[in-house]
């Protein structure tokens, strides 16, 4: 390979991986083992003291999982990653080093419904709280912040409505008050959007979705930019103060740009236990190899479908940032120049009943609670993924009673459109 920075497509295939030194196997092996043998007592002590990198126990580190972590870090332009058992686990692990009882985050109100539920209810059991604000006005984040605020949280491309968030403006406000910006980049993927280039500090993913791309493996990822200064104030004592369980070492002083990632493994995975399995990491690595090819096709198909539905008699509106008439088109051109992703929401003139009838009438589409599969998927959020939310929250999240979410796959676009047309005809009748 040349000395030039490898292209995205090359990184998607090669980053973090190499032929297995023991066998010569070209594909990354599945290291399906719980633990690893130490060379001697000194070697074991060095590993447990964080003085030496290596493998101890697969809840902490595993060779297969490590390849996935390195690949995701490379694709996002970060310094390190921590793989988790799911996307929701990644959100918990990202906040764990930052939060103490009584602390809060300021989050966009345009998020996946499960995230709103997690942050609005389950976080309270940790003594954490979340304030939800409309991200369309970045200054809402500044107005909501207090001395207890430890992070801002947004989605680069919001699920389900395909809302594009002005990351750079929100990042600037976060840095003004000395907190990191956490961006969920699941819907966009690093192929379409690179949040670190726009000021984000931490990225989370549900690797279950587009990174895997085949509907086989649950997983999550936390990626660190390595650029946030954890010592700039006293907001983050877990990282900037001595850690008694590691002989009072200070993570930020000892590990520099890898502070957040080392903490994620040494304490986050150690104590929360939300590790990704080696088999799921292996399946996700296989998916990432074709990520650029799939995302190009997803975006092309999605734009074709959005344009068709925009002129359909049964459709009231389409929310997709790839449409020139869309509210978020300009932001989409800035942050997602390669395409606006695969997911869109559609408002049906027939309301709630039409949405339910449509998801019961599709044939090519699969009615299920996922996005990012190679297959086209559909769901009615108000009756499923977002059903825990109030009417006000449903409206804010772009998931009202009339809304159907489409995740457009990589099939022939004519077949996708034909299935939607026949389902819409049944829904209308």
Report pLDDT digits (tens) over 137-146.
Answer: 999 999 999 9
Residues 6+ apart with CB under 8 A from 56: 35, 36, 47, 48
What is the model's pLDDT at position 330? Answer: 97
Question: What is the mean predicted confidence (pLDDT) over 152-178?
Answer: 94
Query: Which residue's structure tokens are 């399906």?
Result: 32
- The answer to whether residue 386 scores a pLDDT higher than 90 is no
Question: What is the mean predicted confidence (pLDDT) over 304-320?
Answer: 96
* pLDDT digit string, tens, across residues 347-371: 999 998 999 999 999 999 999 989 9
- The answer to whether residue 171 scores a pLDDT higher than 90 is yes
80: left (phi over 0), alpha (psi -120 to 50) or beta: beta
* pLDDT digit string, tens, across residues 283-297: 999 999 999 999 999
Question: What is the mean predicted confidence (pLDDT) over 251-259?
Answer: 96
- C-beta of residue 262 within 8 angstroms of C-beta of residue 255: yes
Q: 425 vs 355, 358, 415, CA distance in Å?
A: 12, 9, 15
* pLDDT digit string, tens, across residues 221-239: 999 999 999 999 999 999 9
Question: What is the mean predicted confidence (pLDDT) over 11-21?
Answer: 94
Q: How confident is the model at residue 385 (pLDDT cuts 50, 70, 90)?
A: low
- The answer to whether residue 339 scores a pLDDT higher than 60 is yes
- The answer to whether residue 428 scores a pLDDT higher than 90 is no
Comparing 218-222, 247-251, 399-403, which segment has the lowest mean pLDDT?
Answer: 399-403
The candidate with the shortest Cα–Cα distance to 424, out of 293, 341, 313, is 313
The candidate with the shortest Cα–Cα distance to 404, out of 341, 340, 339, 360, is 360
- The answer to whether residue 1 scores a pLDDT higher than 60 is no
Distance CA 125, CA 289 (A): 39
What is the model's pLDDT at position 384? Answer: 77
Question: What is the mean predicted confidence (pLDDT) over 164-186?
Answer: 98
pLDDT above 70 as % of the chain: 97
- The answer to whether residue 264 scores a pLDDT higher than 60 is yes
Q: Is the dihedral of CA 9, 408, 137, 173 positive or negative?
A: negative
The candidate with the shortest Cα–Cα distance to 342, out of 371, 313, 364, is 371
Question: What is the mean predicted confidence (pLDDT) over 324-332?
Answer: 96
User: What is the CB-side half-sphere exposure of residue 117 using CA atoms within 13 A?
Assistant: 12
What is the model's pLDDT at position 397? Answer: 66
What is the model's pLDDT at position 77? Answer: 98
What is the model's pLDDT at position 2? Answer: 55
**H or E stretch including 259?**
helix 259-263
- The answer to whether residue 319 scores a pLDDT higher than 90 is yes
Q: Is the dihedral of CA 275, 279, 285, 287 positive or negative?
A: negative
What is the model's pLDDT at position 137? Answer: 97
Q: How confident is the model at residue 391 (pLDDT cuts 50, 70, 90)?
A: confident
Distance CA 319, CA 326 (A): 7
More confident residue, 142 or 110: 142
- C-beta of residue 161 within 8 angstroms of C-beta of residue 133: no
What is the model's pLDDT at position 4? Answer: 80
> Which domains are delineated in the chain?
8-287 (3.40.640.10), 291-428 (3.90.1150.10)
What is the model's pLDDT at position 381? Answer: 84
What is the model's pLDDT at position 3? Answer: 63
Best-predicted range by mean pLDDT (113-117, 357-361, 387-391): 357-361
Q: Tokens for 242? A: 């001595």
Distance CA 265, CA 83 (A): 9
Residues 6+ apart with CB under 8 A from 122: none
Q: What is the mean pLDDT of the chain?
A: 94
pTM of the model: 0.95
The candidate with the shortest Cα–Cα distance to 331, out of 184, 155, 206, is 155
């Amino acid at each position: 390979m040349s000395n030039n920075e490898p292209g995205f497509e090359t990184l998607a295939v090669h980053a973090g991986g190499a032929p297995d030194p023991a066998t010569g196997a070209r594909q990354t092996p599945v290291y399906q083992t719980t633990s690893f043998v130490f060379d001697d007592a000194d070697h074991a002590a060095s590993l447990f003291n964080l003085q030496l990198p290596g493998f101890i126990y697969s809840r902490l580190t595993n060779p297969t999982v490590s390849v996935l972590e390195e690949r995701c870090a490379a694709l996002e332009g970060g310094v390190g990653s921590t793989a988790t058992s799911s996307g929701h686990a990644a959100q918990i692990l990202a906040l764990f080093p930052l939060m103490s009882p009584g602390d809060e985050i300021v989050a966009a109100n345009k998020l996946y419904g499960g995230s709103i539920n997690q942050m609005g209810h389950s976080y309270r059991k940790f003594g954490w709280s979340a304030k939800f604000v409309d991200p369309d006005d970045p200054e809402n984040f500044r107005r909501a912040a207090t001395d207890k605020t430890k992070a801002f949280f947004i989605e680069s491309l919001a699920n389900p409505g395909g809302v594009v968030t002005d990351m750079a403006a929100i990042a600037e406000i976060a840095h003004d008050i000395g907190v990191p910006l956490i961006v969920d980049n699941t819907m966009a993927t690093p192929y379409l959007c690179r949040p670190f280039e726009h000021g984000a500090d931490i990225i989370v993913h549900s690797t279950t979705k587009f990174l895997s791309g085949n509907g086989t493996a649950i997983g999550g990822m936390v990626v660190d930019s390595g650029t946030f200064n954890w010592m700039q104030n006293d907001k983050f004592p877990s990282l900037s103060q001595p850690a008694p369980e590691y002989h009072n070492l200070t993570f930020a002083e000892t590990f520099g740009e890898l502070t957040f990632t080392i903490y994620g493994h040494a304490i986050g995975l150690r104590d929360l236990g939300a590790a990704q399995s080696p088999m799921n990491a292996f399946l996700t690595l296989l998916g990432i190899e074709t990520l650029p090819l799939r995302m190009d096709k997803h975006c092309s198909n999605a734009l074709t479908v959005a344009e068709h539905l925009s002129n359909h008699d049964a459709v009231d509106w389409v929310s997709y940032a790839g449409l020139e008439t869309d509210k978020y088109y300009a932001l989409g051109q800035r942050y997602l120049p390669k395409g606006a992703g695969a997911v869109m929401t559609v408002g049906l003139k027939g309301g709630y009943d039409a949405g339910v009838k449509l998801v019961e009438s599709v044939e090519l589409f699969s009615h299920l609670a996922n996005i990012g599969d190679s297959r086209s998927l559909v769901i009615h959020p108000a009756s499923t993924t977002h059903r825990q939310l109030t009417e006000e929250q449903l409206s804010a999240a772009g998931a009202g009673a009339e809304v159907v979410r489409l995740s457009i796959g990589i099939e022939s676009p004519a077949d996708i459109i034909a299935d939607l047309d026949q389902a819409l005809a049944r829904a209308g009748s």
